Amino acid sequence: MNTKLVQTNQKPNINGKINVRTYFTKSGLKRNKQFATGALKLLENVDLINISSIDSTISSSSSSLHSLSSISSSLRISPPLNFSIKQPSPLLINNNNYDLLSLFIKEEMRIAERRRILFCERPVACLLGENKNCPFTKDDIKPLSFQEFRRSIRTHILLVYEWLRVWPAFSDLNMEDRVTLLRKCVLYHTVLDPCFLTIQIGDLEKFVLPNGGYVSTTFPPLDEGCWADEPEISHETKIKIYWPLLVPLMSGCIAPMLQLKLKYEEFVALKAIVALKMTLPDISFTGRTLVNKELDSLCFSLYKFYRTQKEFNSNLLETAERFGNLILLLTPIIDTANTFVESHHIVQFFDLWQMDSLIKNDI
């Protein structure tokens, strides 16, 4: 009996498993024709699948590598893209090639000349000329008539508007920001201009307004002169509305200005700083960016002015102290301006006297 044709049980190994070869060869299948036919077809299919899949993988990878190389070459050849972020227009337009304080000082002198022409009765030769002196003399001023002052309000607003227009960056603001800035300037100039005119005249018993009229500061206010009855407003109404304004103006604004011996240049800087600073909360982001930059430039110009003055240039500490004292004046000015707005709202609400329509909308 041929023992090769007889299937015998395989001996298990030590672990109890039968030693069986877990692989087969193609040549072995050919020799064993009983099982070779199906297995050979299976192997051929497997080989075809593997070869085709490998070829497709190689071709796809080569094409992807080719595309990557072409992209990288195109990136190397093409110029770099510009991803720069567009900044707000004021940062591009405003180069600060001017001294803002000097511009406002020159315009302030022109305004004084215009006030002389508008409100003084003197020969023309005495009216013309730009200087830092008071536009009025003691002979020019007269008791204030509220009716005449009401008629001159639009003139004062126009002068404030001309004062603003000398600022080169003013035209870069949008219309809403311009109107807001004009309103703030009208308000704070209305407070500051009479204070400095009163100091220049040198008579603290007369509070001088921009039209050359004055209000008596003696207490109690008598029913005469500027406090007398008028067709549009009575003596009692004048006292109720304007005496509470006059007291903080004299004690809170004029008194510290006299103590500091405020210079003309400082007064102009103070007008600009308070108006620009108080505009910031009510304007656009672009407008705030521009105004903040101008405030920095204005303060730097004021510092340069201090360094040219003999009484301040000897010690940096004195310069800083002087600048700080000027900034401290903002508090009483802002408080008085707020009181001024409240009083005029009362006038408008109760129709105590006829106000100009422009000042109603402006304040």
Among candidates 116, 134, 131, which has minimal Cα distance to 193? 134
Q: How far is CA 194 from CA 82, 85, 176, 228, 255, in A?
A: 55, 47, 28, 20, 13
Residue 213 has phi, psi (to 5 degrees) of -85, 155
Residue with tokens 């009163």: 198
Cα–Cα distance, 323 to 302 (Å, whole number):
8
- Cβ 156 vs Cβ 173: under 8 Å: no
Could you tell me the maximum CA-CA distance found in the chain, to the nearest angstrom?
Answer: 156
Cα separations in angstroms, 31 against 28, 36, 146, 181: 5, 8, 130, 105
**Do 114 and 180 share a domain, yes or no?**
yes
Residue 126 lies in a domain: yes
| Number of separate domains in the chain | 2
- The predicted model scores a pTM of 0.71
- Whether residues 47 and 141 share a domain: the answer is no
Residue 297 shares a structural domain with residue 201: yes
The pLDDT confidence band at residue 353, using thresholds 50, 70 and 90, is low
pLDDT per residue as tens digits for the range 138-175: 999 999 998 888 889 999 999 999 999 999 999 999 99
Give tens-digit pLDDT for 243-296.
999 999 999 999 999 999 999 999 999 999 999 999 999 999 999 999 999 999
**Strand (E) or helix (H) holding 206:** strand 206-208
Residues whose CB falls within 8 Å of the CB of residue 283, separated by 6 or more in sequence, listed in order = 173, 176, 177, 180, 181, 291
First to last CA, the chain: 129
Listed residues 6, 38, 59: the one ending a domain = 59
Q: Among 14-28, 57-71, 92-106, 319-333, which stretch is predicted with the lowest mean pLDDT?
A: 57-71
Q: Phi and psi dihedrals of 208, rounded to 5?
A: -90, 130
Q: Residue 31: which domain range?
A: 24-59
Higher pLDDT pick, 77 / 330: 330
Q: What phi-psi label fits residue 153: left (phi over 0), alpha (psi between -120 and 50 degrees) or beta?
A: alpha
Q: Give per-residue pLDDT as tens, 298-336.
A: 999 999 999 888 887 777 888 899 999 999 999 999 999
Same-domain pairing of 48 and 118: no
Whether residues 47 and 119 share a domain: the answer is no
Residue 331 included in any domain: yes
CA–CA separation, 302 vs 100, rounded Å? Answer: 10
Residues 34 and 172 in one domain: no
45 and 106 share one domain:
no
- The answer on 356 and 214 residing in a single domain is yes
Q: How many CB atoms lie within 10 A of CB 181?
A: 22
160: in domain: yes
Per-residue model confidence as pLDDT tens digits over 15-30? 444 455 555 555 655 5
Tell me: pLDDT of 42 over 50.
no
Instruction: Let me know whether 189 and 305 are in one domain.
Output: yes
- The verdict on 207 and 288 lying in the same domain is yes
For residues 258 and 199, the answer to whether their CB atoms sit within 8 Å is yes
> 102 and 49 in one domain?
no
Q: Among 59, 82, 113, where does a domain finish? A: 59
